[in-house]
Structure 1
Amino acid sequence: MTELAVYQYLLIGLIFIWSGFVRSGLGFGGAVLSLPFLLLVHDEPLVFLPIISVHLLVFSSLTIAMNNRHAVAGGGAESVSTVDWAYLRRILPIMIVPKLVGVVGLITLPGGVLSAIIFVIVSVYSLTYIFNRPFRSRSPFVDVLFLVVGAYISGTSLIGAPLIIAVMAQHVAREKLRDTLLALWFIMVGIKLVAFIWAGVDLQLVHHLWLLPCAAVGHVIGLRAHNKMLQAETPTFFRIVGAVLLTVSVLGMWQSLA
């Protein structure tokens, strides 16, 4: 990460607190709801994607381990695992190849082109939030299509979650959905990090020293909010987030073109 102004570092720290909160609270959105803001502060996707990837590995594994420990302590055969591993084994073979193709695109695309692609994808997502029309799959064919496209987008930019969730939310019990998503992100992000290392991408290890604590603060807040989010429908929250994301994406596309 090149030398930035003090206010830029402060903004990046705040955005990673937000990222940690969203990831642990919802089980998704740590990238899609934070990357557009990060790119407005510093328009270099390959600076932030390795940092977000490492955060996903750390906090997803911690969350799953803690929840499964509590489940075992609570007793009961059905509560031993909070992850639907059987469903993950069904969908991973569908997603691996498009994921790898997306990672190759990420590494080879110019930074400006990649930023523009990210802003366009996020703009589409933001409209689904604003109009409360999330992606929905009603057939096995659409399931496969969403998983393939979502895996490819996840490979290029880590923001394929809305398409993937459109499928998984219909096949995974609600109380297991977050941890199953986190397990999926762990596997998919592990593939991306191996590709980063192979391609010689800077993992920004020095910046983990201060950004991991920022994300940890948001992570703890999100864990406490998760149960309330499970019990509440939050269309107003997502409409506000969608409006902000659309504004940020339009500004980002304008900045990229300029």
Structure 2
Amino acid sequence: MTELLPWEYGAIALLFIWGGFVRSGLGFGGAVLTLPFLLLIRDEPLLFLPIISVHLLFFSGLTVWQAHRADARQGRAVSTVNWDFLRYALPLMIVPKLIGVAGVITLPGSLVTGFIFCTVTLYAISYIVGRPFKSNSARIDAIFLMIGGYVSGVSLIAAPLVVPVAASRVSKEQLRDTLFVLWFVLVGLKLLAFIATGVDLQWAQHLWLLPCAAMGHVLGLKFHAYSLRADTQLFFRYLGFALLMVSIAGLARFWMDWSAG
């Protein structure tokens, strides 16, 4: 990671705490609700995406493993992972995912950043109006999953497209861990592509960012237990407003940089 100012290090640390909280608390959103803020600090998607990917693999795998152990100890017959949904979703998402991965590696960083901010703006508006992307059609669900696979390959922010489909087919108790397994597979493919093409995985930065994400992870586990009982619609609305402001600022800077260039 290139040299940063002290306030930038502090802001990045806080954002990784936030990302860890969202990821373990909701089962999704660790990237979509963190990456736009990170890009305002340093407009380099390939600087942050490998770090976020490794964190997702580590904490999603840890959470599902802990849930499996708890099921075994308590003798619960129903897994926290809905494997039927995964067998339906993964074949639809993997090919678009690989196409998206090729895009993020070969396309200019500024173009990927602009795509991310445009996508997040749509997501933010859907949160604010309380109408996240959803459908009651198997065909539309399949389209959402395929587009989600591509968006995930480009930027790791596919959750608002994939989660509504999963939520309509998976019980609330299984939703988080099912999504974790899905992200684990998809992000694993992305990391393999990064390694194969020589992308720097920023291993040195994990020494200080992994503990930050771990702090958020612990807080998120507590929030997840609460969210199973409470209505989180207001929470998403506030997030939508915050994301919209950040996306507008990011798009304005992208436009100024593009005009100057």
> Secondary structure of the equivalent of 1:29?
coil
Question: Within 2, Cα distance between the matches of 1:133 and 1:90?
Answer: 24
Select which of 122, 131, 134 maps to 2:132: 134
Question: Within 1, Cα distance between the matches of 2:52 and 2:65?
Answer: 20
Which residue of structure 2 lines up, in the alignment, with residue 167 of structure 1? 165
Moved more, 231-240 or 36-45: 231-240
Whichever residue aligns with residue 110 of structure 1, its letter is: P
Which residue of structure 1 lines up, in the alignment, with residue 259 of structure 2? none
Whichever residue aligns with residue 145 of structure 1, its letter is: I
> Secondary structure of the equivalent of 2:228?
helix
Q: CA deviation at 1:77?
A: 2.2
After TM superposition, what 4+ stretches of structure 1 lie above 2 angstroms from structure 2?
A: none
Whichever residue aligns with residue 120 of structure 2, its letter is: V
1:229 aligns with 2:227: yes
1:155 aligns with 2:162: no
Q: TM-score, normalised by structure 1?
A: 0.98
TM alignment of 1:9-88, pairs within 5 A:
9-78=9-78, 81-88=79-86
Q: CA deviation at 1:173?
A: 1.0
Question: Within 2, Cα distance between the matches of 1:147 and 1:243?
Answer: 25
> Secondary structure of the equivalent of 1:231?
coil
Question: Within 2, Cα distance between the matches of 1:166 and 1:225?
Answer: 20
Equivalent pair of 2:71/2:77 in contact (CA under 8 Å): no
C-alpha change, 1:35 and 1:72, in structure 2 (3 Å) is same
CA root-mean-square deviation = 0.7
Q: CA deviation at 1:234?
A: 1.7
Which residue of structure 2 lines up, in the alignment, with residue 120 of structure 1? 118
Whichever residue aligns with residue 247 of structure 1, its letter is: M
Whichever residue aligns with residue 62 of structure 1, its letter is: L
1:7 aligns with 2:14: no
Question: Within 1, Cα distance between the matches of 2:104 and 2:159?
Answer: 17
Question: Within 2, Cα distance between the matches of 1:77 and 1:24?
Answer: 23
Question: Within 2, Cα distance between the matches of 1:17 and 1:57?
Answer: 16
Aligned-pair identity in percent equals 58
Q: CA deviation at 1:227?
A: 1.3
> Secondary structure of the equivalent of 2:32?
coil
Question: 1:47-97 deviations in whole A, cap 9, x for unaligned?
Answer: 00000000000000000000110111001323xx21111220121111110
Question: Within 2, Cα distance between the matches of 1:118 and 1:6?
Answer: 26
Q: TM-score, normalised by structure 2?
A: 0.97
Which residue of structure 1 lines up, in the alignment, with residue 175 of structure 2? 177
Moved more, 48-57 or 67-76: 67-76
Whichever residue aligns with residue 125 of structure 1, its letter is: Y
Whichever residue aligns with residue 50 of structure 2, its letter is: P
Question: Within 1, Cα distance between the matches of 2:59 and 2:76?
Answer: 26
Whichever residue aligns with residue 19 of structure 1, its letter is: G
Question: Within 1, Cα distance between the matches of 2:77 and 2:38?
Answer: 43
Question: Within 2, Cα distance between the matches of 1:173 and 1:237?
Answer: 21
Which residue of structure 1 lines up, in the alignment, with residue 205 of structure 2? 207
> What 5-or-longer segments of structure 2 have no aligned partner?
257-261
Which residue of structure 2 lines up, in the alignment, with residue 242 of structure 1? 240
